[in-house]
Amino acid sequence: MKDSLRTGISFGLTSAVITTLGLMVGLTSGTHSRVVVLAGILTIAIADAFSDALGIHISEEAKNVHTPAQIWVATLATFLAKFLFAMTFLVPVLLFSLFTAVLISICWGMLILTILSYIIAKAQNEPPWKIIGEHLVIGTLVILLTHWTGDWIRTLCT
C-alpha cells in the first residue's frame, strides 16, 4: 500500500504543478483574463485529476502485479493529490493581480517540485541537486513553451 500511495501522490503532485502552471501561463499570455485562468484551473483540477487517476488505474492494472486494493489506493491518491494541489493555484489568482498571481504560482509550483524531487533523491541515495535540477529544467521548459504559445495565439487572434 505504501508504494501505491507514493506512486499516486508523486504523480498527482507533479502533474498538478506542470499541467496547472502550463495552463495558467499559456492562458494568461494568450488572454490576459482572470476569468479564463480561473476556469482553466478548475477544469484542470476536475477533468485532468480524473484523467490522471484513471491513467494510473489502468497503468497499474496493466502491470498485473498489484492487488485491486493497491490499484485503488494509487488511483485515489493520484486524484486527491492532483485535485487538491491544482486547487491551491486558485488562491493567488483570487487574491492578486493576474500577473502577480502567475509569478506567485510559478514560485509555489517550483517549490513543490523542489521538495518532491529532494524527497525522491534522498530515497534513491542520489545527489539532490541532480534530480532537483532535472525536474526544475523540465518545469521551466513547460512554462516558457506555454508562454510563447499563448503569445503566438494572441497574435493570431488580434
Look at residues 84, 76, 104, 93 and name the one whose alpha carbon lies nearest to residue 40. 93
Helix axes 98-123, 2-31, angle to 10 degrees: 150
The 10s digit of each residue's pLDDT in 107-132 is: 999 999 999 999 999 999 999 999 99
> What percentage of the chain exceeds 90 in pLDDT?
93
Question: pLDDT tier at 70 (50, 70, 90 boundaries)?
Answer: very high
Q: Return the domain boundaries, the chain.
A: 2-152
| CA–CA distance, 28 with 143 (Å, rounded to integer) | 11
Question: Taking 90 as the threshold, does the pLDDT of residue 139 lie above it?
Answer: yes
Q: How many CA atoms lie within 13 A of 151 on its CB side?
A: 6
**Cβ atoms of 85 and 17 closer than 8 Å:** yes
Would the pLDDT of 21 be above 90? yes
- Average pLDDT estimate for 29-47: 97
pLDDT band at residue 5 using 50, 70 and 90 as cut-offs:
confident
State the amino acid at position 14 in one-letter form.
T
Cα 73 to Cα 69, 78, 81, 133, distances in angstroms: 6, 8, 12, 30
Alpha-carbon span 22 to 147, nearest angstrom: 8
**What is the distance, to the nearest Å, from the Cα of residue 153 to the centroid of all Cα atoms in its chain?**
23
pLDDT digits (tens, 9 = 90+) for 142-158: 999 999 999 999 999 87
Q: What is the DSSP letter of 46?
A: I
